[in-house]
Structures are given as structure tokens and as C-alpha cells.
Amino acid sequence: MRDKLLLLVNAAISVILVGVILHVVGVEAVVNELGKLDLFYLLLSIAALFGMDLVMSYRIGILLDGADSPVKFIEILKSHFVGMLLADFTPSRTGYFATAAAMRYNYGVPAEKALLSIFGPQIFDFAFKVIVGGLAIFYLIVAFIGPEQGWVLIFGAFVIAMIIALMLLILFSRRFLRMFSFAERIPLLSRFYSVVLRMQEKSHVVVDKTPQILALILVSWTFRALSWYFAAKAVGITLELGFPEVFFYFFLQPLITMLEFVPSPTIAGLGLSEGGSTLVFSLFGVFPAKAALFALLVRFKSTVLHIVAVPETMNIPKGFKL
């Protein structure tokens, strides 16, 4: 009951934030822009997003193979879709870890290996977002907004950096985990604590597969950037830059995504990331209604693509227990 109430509160705050954004930019103006949407570019955007899904699923498969638990690619892909779908409806996108639960309960993957295949790559993903998003933050602060207005973006980078440090400790430091050994005596936590301990025993797989993980992150980053670029073209956004426009989205995506991971009483940063996107585009002279529509489009096209995963969620216990 408490979890449902918290989810409703988060949803209400997200809706209010989106409502404020739409009120400021003008609901009628956004609706008018929606009527001009280029469906061809929208389909290209969805196709590029699916390409990213394929790469991320392949990355999971590499780690499962290294942990001696090979799984069919289609089963990994379906589990990945579960995580991507639930990430759209959970604070800080923590629902993506449901990918591990889907592999555990739907396809019999040992819990510690399923968790490792998600947890390990996420460290690299977050580090990449901090580096690339940090460069984007630095540029915006120097060129446009100044440090006093850029504190939210700086805070987002700081939070993600702290998450990276915590994840590294969980994956590689037995001494750190032993600080929480009291969890072994708590019925609700003992099982999860045991899974994390066993996951740490397999952490060498992440180290062994680091070159492949890094290469695949670059490929998935490219697909995600192309997805955002095509979404912008679907809305009719054109930027006058001193370099090819598509490269703008290689940096915008990590920058805005950091806002989705900032701990906040929202649904996966809904409202925060949309406001951030609208603000950034406004600095480059983009009409606010176009920017707001773009931000909503890149979020909800992901939900539309991954909605087919609903049947895969049926066997996952509440709370994503492993």
C-alpha cells in the first residue's frame, strides 16, 4: 500500500511539472506542432531506439556467456524490454533492474548472474553519462547560463558520480558489503544480500569483458543519439551550428538523461528532463513548443515501443525480488 501511495505521489508531481511546462510554452502551440509531426522521421527514431535495444541485449548476453549461463538472444531481448518499460514508470529509472528479475523468473537464469549482467554495464553507462554530460554542462555554463543557473545540472552530474562510486563498491569491495552484514538477519533483506554476495564473486566477468562493454556502449550511444536526432527532425527542429547537427544529440542525450536519474519525487524524472530539454533548446533559439514536444516525444515513444513487454512482467513478484 505504501509503495502504491508513493508511486501515486510521484506520478502526481510529474504530471504537475509537465502541466507547468505546457502552460508556460502554451498547450495550443504544442498541439499545433503535434499536427505537423513528420511520421517518417518518427519511425526512423523508433527504429534507431530498437537498434539500441539490440545492442544492450547483446551486451547482457556477453556477460551471461562469460558467467557460464548462456541464454537465447530473444529471451534476453524480451527481458530487456521489461526493464526498459518499467524504467519509464519508476523513480530514478530503477525499474530497469527488473530485466534481471525477468531473466530469473521467466528463463531460469541464476539470480546473481542475471543481476551481474545488468549491474556491471550500468557502471560504465553512468560513467559515460557523467563524462559526456559533464562536457555538455561545462559548455552550457561557459557559453550561456553561468554556474549560478547551472547548479541543477551540476547536481545531476554529482549524484550520478556518487551512484557510480556506490556501484563500484557493491560490485568489487567485499569489505564494503560486510558493513551491511546485519541484513542477513532481516528476513526481507537476507535473500537479496545473499544474491549480491554471490554476484560479487562473479565480478571478474565484468573486468574480463570491459573492452567489449566499452565498444558496445559507443554503439548504443550512437543509436540513442540518432533516435533523438530523428525525433527532433520529426518535430521540425533545425539547429544552426558550426558542426554537423547530429553530433549535438550525442551530447544532449547524456546531459538530459542525467536528470532522469537524479533522485526526485517524480516518475523517472518526468517533468525534470522535459524542462531541461526545453531550456537547452531555448538557448539555441528553438521555439519552446517544438522543444517541449520533442522532450515528450523522446520519452513516450520509448514506452510505446516497449509496451509489448507487458506479458513478460506477469511472472515477476512484486518488489522485483531475486
Instruction: List pLDDT tens digits, range 248-281.
Output: 999 888 888 776 666 555 555 555 667 777 888 8
Task: Give dist(CA 195, CA 320) in Å, integer.
Answer: 13
Sign of CA dihedral 79, 84, 88, 90: positive
Q: Tens digit of pLDDT for each residue in 6-56?
A: 556 555 665 676 666 666 777 888 888 888 899 999 999 999 999 999 999
pLDDT category of residue 205 using cuts at 50, 70 and 90: very high
Task: Give dist(CA 166, CA 170) in Å, integer.
Answer: 6
- pLDDT for position 265: 54
pLDDT higher than 80, residue 214: yes
- pLDDT for position 277: 79
> How far apart are the two ends of the chain, measured CA to CA in Å?
21
Write down the domain spans for the chain: 2-313
Q: Name the range with the highest mean pLDDT among 179-193, 209-223, 305-319.
A: 209-223
Task: Give dist(CA 301, CA 42) in Å, integer.
Answer: 9
Q: How many CB atoms lie within 10 A of CB 257?
A: 23
Question: Looking at residues 151-160, what average pLDDT do you find?
Answer: 72
- Contacts by 134-139 with C-beta closer than 8 Å and gap 24+? 135/251, 136/251, 136/252, 136/254, 136/255, 137/255, 139/251
Q: Amino acid identity of 193?
A: Y
Q: What mean pLDDT value characterizes the chain?
A: 84
- pLDDT for position 8: 61
Task: Give dist(CA 248, CA 321) in Å, integer.
Answer: 39
Q: Amino acid identity of 227?
A: S
Q: Tens digit of pLDDT for each residue in 76-133?
A: 999 999 999 988 877 767 788 899 999 999 999 999 999 999 988 988 888 888 888 8
What DSSP assignment string belongs to 86-153? HHTTSGGGGGGGHHHHHHHHHH---HHHHHHHHHHHHHHHHHHHHHHHHHHHHHHIIIII-TTT-HHH
The gap from C-alpha 177 to its chain's centroid, in whole angstroms, comes to 26
pLDDT higher than 90, residue 164: no
Question: Looking at residues 221-225, what average pLDDT do you find?
Answer: 94
Closest CA to 301 of 115, 50, 66, 132: 50
**Residues of 292-321 as b/e, b for ≥16 C-beta within 10 angstroms?**
bbbbbbbbebbeebbeebeebbeebeeebe
pTM confidence score: 0.85
Task: Give dist(CA 302, CA 93) in Å, integer.
Answer: 13
Yes or no: say if 274 and 291 are a contact pair by the CB < 8 Å rule. no
pLDDT higher than 80, residue 135: yes
- pLDDT for position 92: 66
- Which residue has better confidence, 282 or 18? 282
Task: Give dist(CA 144, CA 150) in Å, integer.
Answer: 9
